[in-house]
Structure 1
């Protein structure tokens, strides 16, 4: 078969995503915090897009966020109107001489008392001190020689986030080249540091070290944590009474002291993990008997097209073609960005409005009245594709009279109900959570007992389903929830 070159025409249909369409989809997926960062980044990258610092009249528009709102003027042309955003500097005048390298909040070089809103010197620390830094600071005050300090640093470097030592004495000897006596001595020095119970090998040793620090090493509580911790975990009070020869009231008092005064994970309060805060994307409030939806636009910049670049494009006839094309492209991108932002807010508003219609009983009475709902129901209601609804509801939160919930929370599978309407799985989880919260702590409900109680409400689910929902709610099994009378 001979090889040859040939020209061939072929017609085909395919979907091509333009950069503008990708940008619109990306904006739709962003939550409130991510949107704020995206707006600032776009303002920095596109010179034709700028923040409008003027103070126009506030427009009553439930769909407005911080992007341009299109309205029709008297002559039929579209006007750019944006909501008013109040800009205020809440930080008072700062006396920088007050922030010397000291950690006494009452100390000041100034004669006057610093204002109440003056930032703390701790806000200027570049890295939050963690457990290892705290222990190193204490070791600096211990009388250890160079070799012992090396052993100590190796030990605290092998503590996990809970404050437990993850290496044994043999590994300490092998890695630092010390003898066993030195390893044991340095470990005891570290275990005498704050917080109590640090550098223990397990929970039992950590609790015992804390009791020893309190002078209760010979108490019943010390005997329980040292020799009978598995029985304490399973709340087997009868077995503890038989093993210790003590009566139930004494056992109960000892266990109450252990659970209230001791910490099983002494290093956890010193972890430097960042806290992820939730900022609602939408507010749903009940005002005069009617629910009002408001998109969260607090502190978001109002955007507009740069008037300077528009004047350049219209008035400067002697601009080079390359410059003219550059300005034109930037203005088009800025205009598309504003329209995409406006489209995002309208879509979110419509989705929340639809959720309010389907789940009105939830907004009125709470999670027990959550109805089964799928993405297709909302998509058909607002005439959009299911993938759009999925993007809108992902990683976004709504503030309701019942609390703050992720938009995905309102979508739940249907659980059949005998002689009644089907219930949402989240509604059944709320019922299980309420049952466990109100149960007798001395005789907690088993999964089978919960299934029977639900059956009395015409909700027939298997015991293993109850166990699955309980695990998803992060509720312990019955043996770990039992308390002595």
Structure 2
């Protein structure tokens, strides 16, 4: 067989990822808040873009009415005599400075450090002790624990270790209970001390058997300490009532994050109305001055014309991309709402299994487009706030009903079974598996264990209580 070389022409079609197409894909994936930030950046970078503001025109007054009002005002001033016009200027300046800011009406949650600093100045009077206290508070982390040893603190600050220990003891008496502890055991013991419930027995359990309590090994603790299992149960309940993270209820820097739904679904007259929530995204338009420049090409050099044309192309593409995002998101959500109507009406038990392919077929789109449309987005429904990805869930066949059951529905069944169980005889994973089988849901015991862990339910040994 002979090898030969040759040349031939061939026409092929392929998609080229242009910068504009790449931008459209990225815009589709952005949440409404991220899109708003993206548009703000685009406004800074592209001079042809500007925000479209709808002007609300007041109802014009008649000329006669304005003339009459002006004359009445002049008459009033003449009757009053000398008017201190400086008051008007002062009031105008005051109004400019004192514009109502809604943020002033939002209650400010103090940080843990601020809360401790305030208390520190109430219980300490010596400047040196206050300095030591402020140093120690500065080394308490957001969980409420001291994250530096007193030896290292002494080396860094120059304060004597015994002075640090003395002030730390005072800090540990402040609110919240357990603050300033060096480890979990000390945190729990501080709280027990403040409650007046620190006994030798519970101190021994905290010191040696915290892992056993976490794992539900109460029989082991009872045998080790020579107690009845009921006595251990009482001590375990007391320990579980303590807070292992005393700093959790205070504001942390950067914690003011809120979820803004990208889509809102509301029921109106037995029909679901879909609203794409893009009010935070500025409405864009092309700057009219640059439009005139393009129409007057003869008055501009070639470089300026090319610059304006490129920016015009980029601006128009961004405006189209944002509008296409809105239409695509609306269409995808509309298909989800139609398919999951029972869930919206009745709740989690009626959630149906769903995949991207099915919605893509309903919406007449590619799967990748649907995937990008639901990425990073939340939906507000009558059943609550969910990620759009929540509606895309696998399922298990329900033999009794002859249809598929969503994974989230099975988790809800497991949750309800555990909530209704006898705490002294809780259900094992195998028992839950058998109970699901009676509902026509055939899944393995290990699958039950997996779902149970995912919804935060501990194993049977940790749920069991003793009389």
Q: TM-score, normalised by structure 1?
A: 0.73
CA distance in structure 2 between the aligned counterparts of 1:42 and 1:180, rounded to whole angstroms: 56
Q: 2:399 aligns with which of 393, 418, 422?
A: 418
Find the counterpart in structure 2 of residue 374 from structure 1. 355
Find the counterpart in structure 1 of residue 454 from structure 2. 472
Give secondary structure in 1 for the equivalent of 2:249.
helix
Find the counterpart in structure 2 of residue 284 from structure 1. 265
CA spacing shift, 1:280–1:94, aligned 2, 3 Å: farther
Give secondary structure in 2 for the equivalent of 1:268.
coil
CA distance in structure 2 between the aligned counterparts of 1:117 and 1:339, rounded to whole angstroms: 34
Find the counterpart in structure 1 of residue 274 from structure 2. 293
1:191-202 to 2 correspondences below 5 Å: 191-202=172-183
CA spacing shift, 1:453–1:273, aligned 2, 3 Å: farther
Q: 2:245 aligns with which of 265, 268, 283?
A: 265
Query: Between Structure 1 and Structure 2, which shows a larger proportion of helix residues?
Result: 2
Structure 1, 30-39 or 306-315: larger mean CA deviation: 306-315
Find the counterpart in structure 2 of residue 307 from structure 1. 288
**Residues 415 and 422 in structure 1, CA contact (< 8 A), matched pair in contact too:** yes
User: 1:166: Cα distance to partner?
Assistant: 4.3
Find the counterpart in structure 1 of residue 304 from structure 2. 323
CA distance in structure 1 between the aligned counterparts of 2:30 and 2:273, rounded to whole angstroms: 23
CA distance in structure 1 between the aligned counterparts of 2:179 and 2:278, rounded to whole angstroms: 46
Q: 1:448 aligns with which of 425, 430, 448?
A: 430
Largest Rg, 1 or 2? 2
CA distance in structure 2 between the aligned counterparts of 1:256 and 1:316, rounded to whole angstroms: 82
CA spacing shift, 1:121–1:342, aligned 2, 3 Å: closer
Find the counterpart in structure 2 of residue 404 from structure 1. 385
CA distance in structure 1 between the aligned counterparts of 2:172 and 2:408, rounded to whole angstroms: 46
- Which string of whole-angstrom CA distances, capped at 9 and with x for unpartnered residues, describes residues 123-169 of structure 1? 7xxxx8643454455556635685x7787566545544322334556
Q: CA RMSD in A?
A: 4.0
Find the counterpart in structure 2 of residue 481 from structure 1. 463
- Which string of whole-angstrom CA distances, capped at 9 and with x for unpartnered residues, describes residues 26-76 of structure 1? 11000111112122222232222212213599xxxxxxxxxxxxxxxxxxx
- Which string of whole-angstrom CA distances, capped at 9 and with x for unpartnered residues, describes residues 403-438 of structure 1? 111111111123233242122212212222232333
CA spacing shift, 1:115–1:377, aligned 2, 3 Å: closer
Give secondary structure in 2 for the equivalent of 1:427.
helix
Find the counterpart in structure 2 of residue 73 from structure 1. none
Structure 1, 339-348 or 134-143: larger mean CA deviation: 134-143
1:334 aligns with 2:315: yes
1:344 aligns with 2:325: yes
1:165 aligns with 2:150: no
1:123-134 to 2 correspondences below 5 Å: 130-134=111-115
Give secondary structure in 2 for the equivalent of 1:293.
strand
Find the counterpart in structure 1 of residue 104 from structure 2. 119
Find the counterpart in structure 1 of residue 414 from structure 2. 432
**Residues 454 and 460 in structure 1, CA contact (< 8 A), matched pair in contact too:** yes
**Residues 129 and 272 in structure 1, CA contact (< 8 A), matched pair in contact too:** no
Find the counterpart in structure 1 of residue 442 from structure 2. 460
CA distance in structure 2 between the aligned counterparts of 1:184 and 1:25, rounded to whole angstroms: 59
1:68-217 to 2 correspondences below 5 Å: 119=104, 130-136=111-117, 138-139=119-120, 142=124, 155-156=136-137, 158-167=139-148, 181-182=162-163, 184-217=165-198
Structure 1, 298-307 or 30-39: larger mean CA deviation: 298-307
Stretches of structure 1 lacking an aligned partner (at least 5 in a row): 1-7, 58-92, 99-113
Q: TM-score, normalised by structure 2?
A: 0.76
